Amino acid sequence: MSSMTKRATPGDKLVALSACLARVANDRDKSAFAELFDHYAPQIRAYSLAREPGSDLVADDLVQEVMTRVWLKAASYNPGLANLNTWIFTLARNCRIDYLRRNSRYATEIDPTDMFNEMEDEGPDPFQLAQQSRVEESIREGLKQLPREQSEILTKVYLEGKSHQQASDELKLPLGTVKSRVRLALKKLEVLVVR
Amino acid sequence: MSKSTNHPFEELLAAYSAGSLPLSQALCVSAHLEHCESCGQKLARLNRVGSELMQQLKPARASDELKNRMLDSLDSLTVDDIPPQHSVSANPSVPRCLNQFIDRGYDDLPWKRVSADIQSVELCRDSNGAKVELLKIKPGGSATTHTHLGDEYTVILEGSFSDEAGVYREGDFMVRGTGDQHTPVATQDRECICLAVTEGPVQFTGLFSRMLNPLIRRNYV
């Protein structure tokens, strides 16, 4: 009867993972943490490798940095501000920024710690949970339908961590075209409509 | 939260969400976000875009060794293993992202005189050479007309000012590009404090393009 079994949707998976996080927060449950690790570590590694292909050690370091925060901050994470997938993305992004700053050829004294919200309780006004999942669905569907040149530019900026200028150099496009493609993509995804 | 009317461009907000914005510019966006609810909502969705893109990547398997090492370390992890957040400044108009530079509020900073109307204090430099500073314009005071060699990012932290293009209030974010000319004037009722990030003049290093540098210094390019 396996053909009758309903396939788990991304939403079901997220509910299960969120339950794991709650067990980590409330019970310091290591097996729940292991489940989170199994799901997110390969994603975090892929994210790191998108920017630095071949750097497995850097990717493993990023996993450790992010999962350390998951263990320590599970109790302060506020699901009203972002779902678990988005929280993991912001943690991975913040850890990557910090890593790049520490390993940059040109030093800067700017400490990014207090600059990027980590979806903890003191953050901005939460939005409605119901609306959140709808937005999520529309972004997922929208990404599938983006013209290739627009999804390519989002990949460069979000995953490879390229500045607009770097993207313009690599794609041999004028800077203005890079910016307008980002803007068009966001418009298609309806990211910027404030309801 | 006050209602600001001047916001970062969408693609700038997206670069902030992606983590690909130079930290000096990210400081300005971050300071604006503390004032602006609508940009906060946009940012939440932009983060969601990043999260979806990350989930679409082909997963890269993690080794059992890494997993076991992680699980074994859990009991010994403490808050000292992650960077501490900075304590909150005594002055509520100091944005959280600037607490790292400002301990007790604006008054205690080593302000330096720039002109009769303006004082400044440099907070730091970014790795791309951009200068991060605070500017203080006295009530009714004016910044002399100036043009920029690089882009200048400004966020108003206290007070307000106006220039040829309009009036700017607390939380407002603006970018002035190369060659833009403007003369900001603070309003009469109080002094105006801004966060300003100025990118250094571009220096070409290629053999041919080095000849352009004198032109850049004179603002021709």
CATH class of B1-221: mainly beta
Q: What is the pLDDT of residue B179?
A: 66
Residues of chain A with pLDDT under 70: 1-6, 105-106, 118-133, 192-195
pLDDT surpassing 60 at residue B119 = yes
pLDDT surpassing 50 at residue B202 = no
Mean pLDDT of the residues in chain A? 86
Contact indicator for B136, B119 with CB cutoff of 8 Å: yes
B81 touches chain A (CB under 8 A): yes
Q: What is the pLDDT of residue A17?
A: 95
A122 residue type, one letter? E
CB contact under 8 A, B40 and A101: no
Contact indicator for B93, B158 with CB cutoff of 8 Å: yes
Q: Which of A46, A101, A157 sits opposite B59 (nearest CB)?
A: A46
pLDDT surpassing 50 at residue B219 = no
Give the separation between CA B149 and CA B213, rounded to whole angstroms: 12
Q: Give the count of beta carbons closer than 10 Å to the beta carbon of residue B134.
A: 22
Question: What pLDDT, in 10s, does the model give residues A52-109?
Answer: 999 999 999 999 999 999 999 999 888 877 889 999 999 999 999 999 888 876 677 8
Least confident of B51-55, B89-93, B167-171, B175-179: B89-93
Q: Which residues on chain B are in Cβ contact (under 8 Å) with A177?
A: none
CATH number of A8-122: 1.10.1740.10
Q: Which residues on chain A are in Cβ contact (under 8 Å) with B38?
A: 194
SS3 content of chain A, % helix, strand, coil (to 5): 70, 0, 30
Q: Which of A67, A89, A101 sits opposite B50 (nearest CB)?
A: A89
Mean pLDDT for B84-91 is: 71
Q: Where are the domains of chain A?
A: 8-122, 127-195
- Give the residues across from B167 on adjacent strands: B162
Among the CATH numbers 1.20.1290.10, 3.20.20.70, 3.40.50.2300, 1.10.10.10, which is that of A127-195?
1.10.10.10
B2 pLDDT tier (thresholds 50, 70, 90): very low
Least confident of A175-189, B50-64, B84-98: B84-98
Instruction: Using a pLDDT cut of 90, give the percent of chain B over it.
Output: 46
B127 pLDDT tier (thresholds 50, 70, 90): confident
Q: What is the pLDDT of residue A57?
A: 96
CB contact under 8 A, A186 and B56: no
Minimal C-alpha gap between A116 and chain B (Å) = 7
Q: Which of A69, A92, A127 sits opposite B44 (nearest CB)?
A: A127
pLDDT surpassing 80 at residue B168 = yes
- Angle among Cα A159, A165, A169 to the nearest 5 degrees reads 90
pLDDT surpassing 90 at residue B183 = no
Q: What is the pLDDT of residue B199?
A: 82
pLDDT surpassing 50 at residue B42 = yes
Mean pLDDT of the residues in chain B? 84
Q: Where are the domains of chain B?
A: 1-221
Q: What is the pLDDT of residue A2?
A: 46
Mean pLDDT for B5-27 is: 92
Give the separation between CA B45 and CA B38, rounded to whole angstroms: 11
B176 residue type, one letter? R
List all residues 6 or more positions away from B127 whose beta carbon is below 8 Å from its beta carbon: A101, A104, A105, A106, A107, A108, B22, B23
